[in-house]
Amino acid sequence: MLLNCDLGESFGNWKMGLDDQVMPFIDQANIACGFHAGDPDVMQHTLSLAKQHQVSIGAHPAYLDLQGFGRRSMHLSSQEIINLLHYQIGALSAMATVQGMQLSYVKPHGALYNDMMAKPAVFAAVVEAIASFPQQLKLMILATAEPEQYQTAAGQVELLFEAFADRRYQDNGHLTPRSQPDAVLDTEQTLQQVKLLAAEGTVITQSGRKLALNPDTLCVHGDNPHALAMVKQIRDLLPR
């Protein structure tokens, strides 16, 4: 199981994350493309870090929502979603090519990610955007209790199923909303969940049920010193 992290989310003089410190511990870097965070200079630097540490790179596109950090849903047509994805993926792909690198996947960010998992029309638009992009790319989505329905809907687009190290799961495999108590796990709970995912591909849900997710990749966060320390502990639990 690989480790992925959302990176490149600084913008201008505003700094977010400890990208330089977290990059050596992950396998996949989800790089912001400018719509919710990131700018050309940040994108170039993040790509350079990934190249230095031999980390796989993916586009992390979002709704055009800098003020809301891409966490607010937008009602767009399918074609508008396809266009905004092509715009962002294309920009990062071009900057990667300049450094002799190649994108391997796409992981939507924030509200776009949530809408993709909850609304079939949005999922279909995201899939169409990736299928019609000139380069062959995989799509990273949430690992749920029923992955087959998403793979069927994705057609020829290969999916990467993602679990979250520090989030509580519901019985259907979706994340417990942050508005609910205990949606975010503490350090001990997080490490226990990682151990279970590594050993069995399962998690214990909010109701105490054991749920099989069998993820390809595990999302971790390194946006503060505590989170970075957690990434290091998780890395020690997962052999490369």
Secondary structure element (H or E) that encloses residue 44, with its range:
helix 40-52
In tens, the pLDDT along 20-46 reads: 999 999 999 999 999 999 999 999 999
Instruction: Please compute the mean of the pLDDT values over residues 63-74 and round it to a whole number.
Output: 94
Instruction: Please compute the mean of the pLDDT values over residues 48-64 and round it to a whole number.
Output: 98
pTM value?
0.95
Residue 221 corresponds to which amino acid?
H
Report the domain count for the chain: 1
* Distance from C-alpha of 180 to C-alpha of 136, rounded to nearest angstrom: 38
pLDDT at res. 40: 97
In tens, the pLDDT along 148-194 reads: 999 999 999 999 999 999 999 998 888 998 888 889 999 999 999 99
CATH number at residue 128: 3.20.20.370
Per DSSP, what are the bridge partners of residue 29? 5, 57
Mean pLDDT taken over the chain: 94
In tens, the pLDDT along 105-157 reads: 999 999 999 999 999 999 999 999 999 999 999 999 999 888 999 999 999 99
The two beta strands, 105-106 and 2-7, are unpaired
- Residue 240 confidence (pLDDT) above 80: no
Domain encompassing residue 20: 2-237
Question: For the CA atoms of the chain, what is the radius of gyration?
Answer: 17
Question: pLDDT above 70 covers what percent of the chain?
Answer: 100
Give the pLDDT band (50/70/90) at residue 17.
Answer: confident
